[in-house]
Structures are given as C-alpha cells and as structure tokens.
Structure 1
Amino acid sequence: MFTGIVEELGEIIEKSDGPESAVLRIRGPLVVSDAAHGSSIAVNGVCLTVVDLKDDTFTADVMRETLERSSLGALEPGSRVNLERPVRLQDRLGGHLVQGHVDGVGVIVERVPSEKWEIVRISLPEALARYVVEKGSITVDGVSLTVVEAAADSFTISLIPTTLELTTLGRKGPGEPVNLEVDVVAKYVERMIGAR
C-alpha cells in the first residue's frame, strides 16, 4: 500500500527486454536506502518487487501483463520515474490509499500554464470514467492528485510548483502516456452495491 506522495525522482539505468517480461534497473538512492530483496517500490505508480540491490540502484522484473497494462513498456534508459516506498502503519497518510495496481493508461491531452501552477487534461479510458469524480482522488504516474473537472473521456488536475518540480508530471507533454489508478474505495462500493 502506498500514499501517492512521491519520495524521489529516479532514473531507468538499464532495460532488458525478454519475450514475456523485462528487467528494469532503476537508480533511486533514497528508496533503496532501507530496501531489501523482496521489498516493494512503486515505479510510476506500479508496485514492483526488488530483485537485486547494487549501490544506489535496484532491479525489478516486469511481467508481460504489467508491460501491456501500464506505461512501463515505453520506458528506456534515461527515462525519469516517480518512486515511492510502501507506507508503514505508523506513517501519516498524506495522499490517499494507493495500491500500485494500474487500472489503465491515459494520455496527456493539454497543459495550460498559470502563474505558479498548471492545469493538465488527461484522456480517460471509458471503463474508468465512472470512478472519476470532481474533487475525488486519482493517482497519475504514482502521484496522488485531486480531480478538478471530470468529463466523460478526460479529466483535469492542477499541478502545484512542488509537483511540477519533483515528479515526472512536470516534464511530460501532450501525447505522452501516464498510468492511472482510480480510488479503490469507489471500486469496492460499486461491487457491494452491484451485489444487492
């Protein structure tokens, strides 16, 4: 479980593609400082398992399912990624409950800069639209954000200077893919009501 509060902007050092999977080596000195083999680290909102640690990097296996259902397959050496360690029970929950299970991939449609922040419109897969509501929570590339406007096929978020500076969302432009995770509580509520 994560909070969507990015701890570090990491970098893909190496990517080895196989027929059914890939291995990523990622630099992230902060997130590896207390990691061990088997630890979980969210990479652009995708929960990955640490396979190996070396200096300030870790490797993770990424299965075909994850490569196809997230934007991780598009990463190359040099790509910047948002990194977060899992929340501990005694930690404050600064964002919202984030599982690290990507529900779909959106695409940045437009960016509208303001004096200190930016409004970003992101396309929304049709199957996820019912879970996205104005002032609700959404995770974009592992960043916990509040929805400003929810439309049938897109939504907007407002990025403050800290988010623009310390996450990949400050660097991505129109046409680039982003991982989306909707609020898990909404999915559970829908399931419970549908069962009645």
Structure 2
Amino acid sequence: MSMIIPPVRTTRPISLVPHHIDPVSDGRMRHLVVPAAVMGDRPMDLESLWVREGFTINDRQPAQRAEISIRYAGDGRSYRRPWPRAIPRLSSGVRDAGQMPVTLSRITLLIETLRVCNIGDLTEDEAMTAGLYYEGDGYSVIGYPFLRPFTDYREALAWMIAQVHSLTTGIDPVEPLAVVGFRALARNISQIAVGCV
C-alpha cells in the first residue's frame, strides 16, 4: 500500500541523538520537545524536519563516484547512498549529527502539530511520546536505562532536553519550548520536497 504525501515546501534540519532514531522510526516517539530557538525564526511556517544523525564515512568506498558508503550511528549498519558527482566525497571518519549533509538524511518528520509553551505546560502524553517511559516507581528516559527514574515527568523531560542539547545549566522553567507532533517517514527530504532542498 502506498501512502500519498503532499509536497513539502518548508523544511529545516533537526539533529537527533543515536538512541532516539529507533523510537522515532518505529513510532514510540511522536513528539519532539526542544528549545524554541532550535526551530528557527518562523517555526509555525514549517511543514517538515529532515533528521540529522551521527554517522561514519567508511574507509572502503564504492568505485562509483555517484555513491558513498556510510554507517549511521542510530543503527550501526553500513549503507550505500547516492552522492552528487559534482561534490567531492567526504573523507573517512566519524561525524557528529551537525555535519550531516541533506543528501545523507534518511528520515523526514512531517509536522502535524506545533506549539510553543514552557515546561510547566507540557502534558504527560506529550512527555511520554517525546522520549520518556513509565517504569515502576517513576519516569525514565529512553537511552538512559541505568538512570534512577524521576518522580515527575516534567523533571525527566527537562533533564533529557538538557542532555540532548548540551545545556549545562538545565532548562529554565519559563524558557519557551517547541512541542512538535510529527509523523516519521523513512525517506530523504528530497523525495518529497518542492524547491526547498
């Protein structure tokens, strides 16, 4: 069964940590909660986000210049991806998510809802679908199985946001956060975008 997807006109990159790739891809994560500044100047105009993730350019490359061999940090498997002939191939080595070019992105998030609020206005459902799960006596964070559970979902989510975005001071209770509801597609944004990539 094929899915009809309307063309996307406005998009921007979003970096995800490796342990969020599978939950985003399989639907366990359906929201992102990020500092509002991450979404740019006009977040309400966005229709999609193309996912950046950590990756490694493999030492052994295909003979064809139109392909590149990489390993995504999210699953550790090697893939051959199309590569524009006009652009020199990247040298081998590990790259962080911020260095991923759009041509190597494999996941697109179609934005279904977007609102700006502070941490105190988040619902438990938004928090649970943004990377938390309930475990016996509290809220745990996906990707941190040995962390003691938090008693409040807002505390757990604030801790997760601070970790993911390298915020040494944590989340200010009045800092604006963007709550993005999305549908994940296992496609490069260039397959659905119109004139924006």
Query: TM-score by structure 1 length?
Result: 0.28
Choose between structure 1 and 2 for higher RCO, CA contacts under 8 A separated by at least 6 residues: 2
| Structure that is richer in strand per residue | 1
